[in-house]
């Protein structure tokens, strides 16, 4: 089988460009990196930050200080695209006062031809654009732009994708780490733009993944999340008989005080073997994000999801049989083209049946180039909105009753930081990914503590340290 690992010379070439940019630039320049969208984008931004630091930039959160701004965009819904475009628009004035400022855009949104063209014509202050499969060439493109002062647009339309190993990385957290195990998607769900902007499914070699996780465990990382659009098809492009469940088992042999998470799973590929490994391995968080999208078999078919509601429910049943305390979350799309009141009622009834620990619900958003965008019977916004409200209401009831049921129980929490609303409070997440607030000292950030839950509301739990 053929892998998509880029030849080491191609990466070395980029290291040479990193050195050239460093020489070319005056000292003391700063870079600001802005990330939209999913964890994969966050992981990509950590690579962009790694390359920027190697090129001599220090990272800044203050955009006004920046000499280089990189906007890493998302395309999964229109809302995310419009937000990135409007923020980019706000940067126009910065260039008036700082002529040397370089503005770059990358990620999923700009990997679409029509968006790239729009940026070319309507955002003249954006200096360069690079698509997701060109991420590793960031140093070369930046160098080109610095010496020529010409605008550059790098996309590989129709590119199948690649895997750049060995890029520098600056991780944004010292206790939570992302590890991409594969890139791209082959599923072509009819609503989704991801396969068009991130190329075909390709897996990293297991040795590379294990090496990265060993290093993270040694550095004391407490939570490691494996990333892929469809982690359950890990290895299909590389190995005859080595799958995601095997990879998880191998990772769990790596010593360290960390908890392992993964996302995202596709129900068509989630295997009983995977669930068995989860149940057996202590290091794996008992938490499963399993996007349903719709509870109607007819809509699932239209979405090209390749599973039925019955199959999905059977997976949930098996998970709960093996791990009675498991938390399950999901993604739901409301208002997919042709969704009838009856179809939507099927989604609600499945929600009632499963009693999810959390749901992420989205109004269907038309994506250029996808099959669903040109389907008949697009649902009017007011109908979508009204269904969305009903969905939220139902899930709110479930959340509230689940959160209240935790009162009096103790929980292990990974402390993530100070609460946004109250500086004396800390906030963390439980194994089941529940948000927990409690009073405590900031020295606890990055540690695991035990908390007794005293209160539960719609969105969070409150507790006290014990
Ligand atoms: N409209 C609305 N939601 C979408 N998602 C993906 N594409 C669309 C779209 N066109 C949602 C799915 C997916 C999550 C990451 O985003 O629920 O699981
Ligand atoms: Fe999009 Fe479906 Fe691939 Fe997920 S599995 S990224 S929803 S096409």
Could you report the per-residue pLDDT of 48-66, keeping only the tens digit for each?
999 999 999 999 999 999 9
pLDDT at 424: 84
Q: How far apart are CA 427 and CA 392, in angstroms?
A: 24
pLDDT at 157: 57
Residues in contact with ligand 1 by the CB-under-6-Å rule are 76-77, 191-192, 291, 293, 331, 333, 362, 364-365, 367
Atom 4, ligand 2: which residue's CA is nearest?
Answer: 229
pLDDT at 150: 87
Q: Which residues of the chain have pLDDT under 50?
A: none
User: Ligand 1 centre and the CA of 229: distance in Å?
Assistant: 12
CA distances from 96 to 121, 133, 438 (A): 19, 31, 46
The ligand with the least distance to the CA atom of 194 is 2
Residue 289 CB–ligand 2 contact under 6 Å: no
Residue 187 CB–ligand 2 contact under 6 Å: yes
Atom of ligand 2 nearest to the CA of 266: 5
Q: What is the pTM of this model?
A: 0.96
pLDDT at 411: 96
User: Ligand 1 centre and the CA of 362: distance in Å?
Assistant: 7
User: Ligand 1 centre and the CA of 232: distance in Å?
Assistant: 18
Domain edges within the chain: 8-154, 176-404, 410-465
Topology given in CATH for the domain delimited by 176-404: pyruvate-formate lyase- activating enzyme (3.80.30)
Residue 189 CB–ligand 2 contact under 6 Å: yes
Identify the three-state secondary structure at position 133: helix
Phi-psi region of 251 (alpha: psi -120 to 50; beta: other; left: phi over 0): alpha
pLDDT at 261: 98
In residues, how long is the chain? Answer: 466
Residue 231 CB–ligand 2 contact under 6 Å: no
pLDDT at 149: 86
Burial of 157 (0-12, 13-18, 19+ CB in 10 A): exposed
Do residues 280 and 273 make contact, with C-beta atoms less than 8 angstroms apart? no
CATH of domain 410-465: 2.40.50.140
Looking at residue 206, the DSSP 8-state letter turns out to be H
pLDDT at 158: 60
Fold identical between 8-154 and 410-465? no
Looking at residue 437, the DSSP 8-state letter turns out to be E
CATH of domain 8-154: 3.40.50.12160
User: Ligand 2 centre and the CA of 100: distance in Å?
Assistant: 39
């Amino acid at each position: 089988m053929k892998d998509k690992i880029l030849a080491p010379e191609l990466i070395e070439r980029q290291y040479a460009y990193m050195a050239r940019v460093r020489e070319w630039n005056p000292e003391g320049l700063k870079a600001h990196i802005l990330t939209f969208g999913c964890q994969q984008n966050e992981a990509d931004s950590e690579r962009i930050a790694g390359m920027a630091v190697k090129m001599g930039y220090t990272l800044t959160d203050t955009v006004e200080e920046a000499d280089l701004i990189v906007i890493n965009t998302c395309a999964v819904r229109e809302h995310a695209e419009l937000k990135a475009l409007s923020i980019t628009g706000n940067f126009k004035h910065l260039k008036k006062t700082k002529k040397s400022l370089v503005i770059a855009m990358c990620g999923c949104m700009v990997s679409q031809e029509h968006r790239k063209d729009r940026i070319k014509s309507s955002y003249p202050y954006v200096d360069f654009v690079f698509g997701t499969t060109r991420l590793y060439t960031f140093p070369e493109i930046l160098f080109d732009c610095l010496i020529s002062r010409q605008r550059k647009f790098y996309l590989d339309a129709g590119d199948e994708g690649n895997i750049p190993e060995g890029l520098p990385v600056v991780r944004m957290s010292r206790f939570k780490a992302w590890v991409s195990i594969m890139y791209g998607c082959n599923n072509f769900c009819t609503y989704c733009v991801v396969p068009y902007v991130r190329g075909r499914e390709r897996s990293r070699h297991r040795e590379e993944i294990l090496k990265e996780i060993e290093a993270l465990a040694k550095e004391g990382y407490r939570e490691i999340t494996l990333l892929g659009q469809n982690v359950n098809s890990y290895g299909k492009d590389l190995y005859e008989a080595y799958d995601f469940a095997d990879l998880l088992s191998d990772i769990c042999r790596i010593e360290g005080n960390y908890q392992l998470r993964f996302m995202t799973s596709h129900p068509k590929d989630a295997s009983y073997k995977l669930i068995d490994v989860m149940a057996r391995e202590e290091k794996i968080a008992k938490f499963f994000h399993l996007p349903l999208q719709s509870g109607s078999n007819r809509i699932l078919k239209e979405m090209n999801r390749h599973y039925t509601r019955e199959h999905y429910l059977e997976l949930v049943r098996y998970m709960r049989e093996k791990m009675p305390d498991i938390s399950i979350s999901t993604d739901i799309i409301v208002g997919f083209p042709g969704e009838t009141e009856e179809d939507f009622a099927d989604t609600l009834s499945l929600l009632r049946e499963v009693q999810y620990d959390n749901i992420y619900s989205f109004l269907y958003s038309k994506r250029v180039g996808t099959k669903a965008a040109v389907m008949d019977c697009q649902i009017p916004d007011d109908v979508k909105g009204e269904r969305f409200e009903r969905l939220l209401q139902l899930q709110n009831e479930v959340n509230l009753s689940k959160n209240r049921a935790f009162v009096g129980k103790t929980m292990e929490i990974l402390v993530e930081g100070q609460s946004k609303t109250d500086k004396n409070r800390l906030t963390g997440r439980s194994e089941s990914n529940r948000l927990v607030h409690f009073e405590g000292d900031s020295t606890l950030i990055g540690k695991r503590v035990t908390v007794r839950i005293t209160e539960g509301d719609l969105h969070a739990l409150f507790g006290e340290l014990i």
